Structures are given as structure tokens and as C-alpha cells.
Structure 1
């Protein structure tokens, strides 16, 4: 370490055009900058990728049996959304519901959860608290919709395809609300 507590490049480490004595100015990273960098480097959970994918398809027409950019049915949209997040789902709504042993109650819904209605005849995905994204029926398009009383009455159950990602996201949210770490000094 140099006299000022800085790491200096030795002539062998310095590039031919660099004078090692000019590397005495530290680069200071604030706690807020460190926090921002950590957040940018945090892995994005599968459920978040799935929600982003499904939301990006809003306006795409409903196509019975569809699972492509030209059109989606309800389960085809969920299939492709989670596929983008690295999680394989079965093809139909009933199979998607049956693929997970743990069921989620209405009061415990979180973004990314798959919600099932009408005797497992329809599936959507929680996009944010109180809303779902889905491909409703022939003649309609992929859209985000508020979870209404009518939806609550026809609710069969829900599953969480990415429980580890939900826990990870909760930890990341805690870290975001925590104070920034102390300022560090780094040298280049």
C-alpha cells in the first residue's frame, strides 16, 4: 500500500502508456452507488421474467390452442411466459394446476402465481397485487385485469411455479429498503 493507503500499479503491471505514479487519485464509490450496483447484478427470478413476458404480450389476440406471438390461449401464454423464465409447464390449465402439489390460497397470492378459475378451465398470472394478466377468450386479447368479486367466486386455486424466486425477491426487497452501506474507496 502507498503512503496514502492506495494501491499503486507497479511498473510491471502498468500498461506501456500508463505512468504508475498518476494512479494516486482514488475512485470513490458511495454507499448508494454500491447498493445500485448490487441491485443491478442481482439475479432476476423466473416469476419476474414470466410476468414481464406476459405483460409484454398485452394486445396479442386470443387464439384457441395458441402458444406463439401470433396468438395465445390462456395456458399457452403461461407456458411461454414461464418457459422464458426457465421453468417448464405442462400445456393445459388443468395440467398446470396439477403439476404442483402445493396450492396457494386467494389471500396469499403473489406476483407470478398462476390462478385458476371455472373448474380449471381458465388460468391467469398475478401481475401485481389485485391484478392478473391473461388471455381471456376468443375475440379478446391478452390483457391485465383487476381481480373482481366475480373472479373470486369462480376461483379454484393457485400454484406458485417459482417459490425460490419469490423468497429471493423478498430478500432483495428487504435489501433495497435497508440503508446504503458505508462508502468505500477503490483505486484503479
Structure 2
């Protein structure tokens, strides 16, 4: 019988070792590249970073406007729900009073030797069902019938209020879910923009922040300085006192930070600044750009007068206040405060006159 021999293990050497090493190096080269770059993101120029950041800010602002709209609707739903709950509580108190009155009537009849149907109603665990008994109406006296009618009506009203509250609660939860979705979108876009900007030098970031704007030297003025600046710049006069007041408010907020979802008094997003400016002038505007554009009379680019609202991008996701001399005041994005800018800096989508 042939002896069973354990096969000898071959060491990795010679050609085999060289092949393995070659494959390993090839894999490493594929993963990282011999020059250290491989699949890493390519180095972007400041101009390319600016283009990407501008796009992210635009997308974030579109989501911000949706967030603002959802928040406005959620707040309204919450107010309606609170009002319904308050009304239900008042109705329940009235129901208790009415049932107590029925109990008093029944107690009096019991002392006189009778056990009125009203007493059965007061003790019933399901009074509405009991009231459906046609025999009750035949047995109840006039006084009891009136009291029972009040109880029955109050039960019906309470159930209607509870139904309306359930609808509002569903609406509120839907709006809150939309808020969470838009908040996630906004924060994601802004985080990506910050990551791109962090790759630039401080000087490059400053140049990007100032591009298309007016620089920090024009970022803070008082309301009186604002009016003086309008005259010195040779701008057309505001057409009325309300437009002038809104413009003065906007000038007074130059340099205020951009914060998404904010509507003043110390920070703003674009539609929040417009809303606050006209609120100071006694005019109530909707919260979002896509509602503000329909809040007044549409005007063309050539018809612009100081105080008009100018909207940008195809989705109407940005707005500024025209102040004359080819300039708007707007809240641009998180990288720049409230500032003056050329009216044609962004793609024109429409304009509205609200004062």
C-alpha cells in the first residue's frame, strides 16, 4: 500500500510572489493613485467653488421658502386646534351643568314618588343612545324635554368639535413632517456649501462673499443715513410714504445676518426681510416668496420704482426690495449679510408693487 504523504505547501515566492505584489500595487494604484489623488475630489478653482456654492445656496433658499410656508401652515393648524380644544372644554362644562340640572329634576321627582326618565338619562353611561328611545319623548314632561334637548344638542356639538380637532391634528402632523423634510434639505445644502468654502483660503472666501455685493463698507447704516444715501445716489423718490418707510427699514438692517427661517428683528432670510420691512410700514405680506409675488400688482422690469419687490429664479425662490438707482436690498445667503446688490445680479423672475 502506498504511503499517504501530506502534500508539501508551496511558499509564495518567485513568479507567484511577484504576481501577487503586482496585483496588490495595481489595486492600491486604483484605489489611491500613484500620485496620491486617485478618486479624491479634484481640486476646484475659487470660481468653480463659487459656482457650486451659489447653486447650493439657491437650492437651500428654495427649500427655506418651502420650510417657511410649511411653518406658517403648521402654526395656523396649531392655533385652530387649540381653539377647537378650548371650545370643546367650554361645551363639556355646559354639558355638565345641563346634566346636573337633569339630575336635580330627577331627584325632585324621586322625592315625590316618581322616577323620571330624566334620572335614567343622568345615570346612563351612553346618554345619546338612550335619548334615541322614542318612548322617552312620550314620557318626559315639557321641562324635562327642554333640558334633555339641551343635553342632546351639546353632545352633538362636542362630537362635531372633536371631529374637527381630529382633522386639524392630522393636518398639523402633516405640516410638521414637511417642516422636518425641508429642514433636513436646508441643513444638508448649507453643510455642503460650508465644506466647499472651507477648502479655500480666507482671502478667496472673502472675495467670493463680496462678489456681486457691495462689500462690508456699505453694510451698516441708520435709517436717516438710508434716506440721505437715496438722495446722494440720485435715486428716484419713493412713490409714497409706505414704500419710503419699508426702504428705510431695509437700509437700517444692512449688515444683519442671514438666518434661514428668520423674519427679524435681528436676522432674516430673503422673504423674512421683505415681510418685516413692509410690516414696519403697516402692510401685511405673506411669509413666502411664491405668495409675496401675488400680493400686489405685477410690474415689468422697466416699470420698477423704489419699494417694489423683485423676484428671482424660475422657482421664485428669492426676493429683494428695489431701492432705485438699479439696486436692491436683500438677504443673500448665510455667507453674506443683508446688503445692497445690482438688480440684475440674479435671473429676473418678476416684480410686484405692494405700496
**Same fold (TM > 0.5):** yes
Q: Secondary structure at the match of 1:98?
A: coil
Match of 2:310 in 1: 115
Counterparts of 1:1-20 in structure 2, within 5 Å, are: none
1:34-69, CA deviations, whole angstroms, 9 ceiling, x for partnerless residues? xxxxxxxxxx61110000000110000000011113
C-alpha displacement at 1:99, in angstroms?
2.0
Match of 1:79 in 2: 275
Name structure 1 gaps, 5 residues minimum.
1-43, 163-188
C-alpha displacement at 1:129, in angstroms?
2.4
Q: What is the TM-score with the length of structure 2 in the denominator?
A: 0.32
Q: Secondary structure at the match of 1:159?
A: strand
Alignment of 1:57 onto 2:217: no
Match of 2:285 in 1: 89
Aligned pairs, number: 115
Rounded to whole Å, the distance in 2 between the matches of 1:105 and 1:134 is 19
Counterparts of 1:1-188 in structure 2, within 5 Å, are: 45-100=241-296, 102-118=297-313, 119-148=315-344, 150-151=345-346, 154-162=347-355
Q: Secondary structure at the match of 1:62?
A: coil
Rounded to whole Å, the distance in 1 between the matches of 2:303 and 2:324 is 12
Rounded to whole Å, the distance in 2 between the matches of 1:157 and 1:129 is 18
Rounded to whole Å, the distance in 2 between the matches of 1:125 and 1:52 is 11
Indicate the structure with greater helix content: 2
Name structure 2 gaps, 5 residues minimum.
1-239
Give the number of the structure with larger relative contact order, counting CA–CA contacts within 8 Å between residues 6 or more apart. 1
1:11-46, CA deviations, whole angstroms, 9 ceiling, x for partnerless residues? xxxxxxxxxxxxxxxxxxxxxxxxxxxxxxxxx611
CA RMSD of aligned residues (A): 1.2
C-alpha displacement at 1:136, in angstroms?
0.5
Rounded to whole Å, the distance in 1 between the matches of 2:342 and 2:320 is 11
Q: Secondary structure at the match of 2:299?
A: coil
1:63-108, CA deviations, whole angstroms, 9 ceiling, x for partnerless residues? 00111133100000000100011110000111100223x3110011
Q: What is the TM-score with the length of structure 1 in the denominator?
A: 0.59
Match of 1:11 in 2: none
Rounded to whole Å, the distance in 1 between the matches of 2:242 and 2:305 is 13
Structure with larger Rg: 2
